[in-house]
Amino acid sequence: MIKHLKPAIILFVLLTLLTGVIYPLLVTGLAQWLFPQQANGSLMTDSHGNVQGSALIGQPFNDPSYFWGRPSATSPFPYNASASSGSNLGPTNPALIDGIKARLQILKDADPENNAPVPVDLITASASGLDPHISPAAADYQINRVAKSRNLKPKVLHALINANTESRQWGFLGEPRVNVLTLNLALDATTAK
């Protein structure tokens, strides 16, 4: 029996070292060397060097002087990266309909003079519930509210949105998008001048 057990134990120890120690150290080392920004969470800082969040995870903005992102469907709190998920509510589910109506009301209350159609990404969560991006149309929808709150001209905000709009990945995948945290950091930097 020992003759059969010895190779199994040796193989177990070797595979544990290879897959549990050597491989993770190698992958971590390569990631830190080749992609240090991404390997450390794609953290974003303000003009003072303080970490404000990640470029990969949405942030809860609800102050009228900032651009707002997509709603989050995570629980027990919004933008919970450890609980990434969609709401899984179907289009006829009353909870989804009530949630959309509530979000519409929040947007209307924040900017009662805005009669433009509300972009869908401002009232529906993404599949992950963590999307840090909105469409350029969703950013444009919020210009009047942010301009009034910060006493800025709308054309300044248009320029900020255009400067922070990312094009399609590799020129053909996805849609143009605006990272809300990047836009709000640029907004703070502009108004701090």
With vertex at residue 24, the alpha carbon angle to CA 21 and CA 29, rounded to the nearest 5 degrees, is 120
pTM: predicted TM-score of the whole model, two decimal places:
0.80
32 and 83 share a domain? no
What is the pLDDT of the chain when averaged over all its residues? Answer: 89
The predicted-structure confidence for 108-154, as pLDDT tens digits, reads as follows 999 999 999 999 999 988 888 888 999 999 999 999 999 999 999 99
For residue 87, pLDDT beyond 80: no
Note down the domain range covering 134: 43-192
In this prediction, residue 12 carries a pLDDT of 95
26 and 98 share a domain? no
Both tokens of 29, joined, read 């080392």
> Do 94 and 113 form a contact (C-beta atoms < 8 A)?
no
pLDDT above 90 covers a percentage of the chain that reads 58
30 and 109 share a domain? no
User: What's the number of domains the chain is made of?
Assistant: 2
Confidence band of 193 (pLDDT split at 50, 70, 90): low
72 and 118 share a domain? yes
Using alpha carbons, list the distances in angstroms from residue 21 to 27, 30, 32, 43, 89: 10, 14, 16, 27, 42
Q: What does the alpha-carbon distance between residue 31 and residue 23 come to, in Å, rounded to a whole number?
A: 12
Element (H, E) at 13: helix 2-17
The predicted-structure confidence for 148-190, as pLDDT tens digits, reads as follows 999 999 999 999 999 999 999 888 998 999 999 999 999 988 8
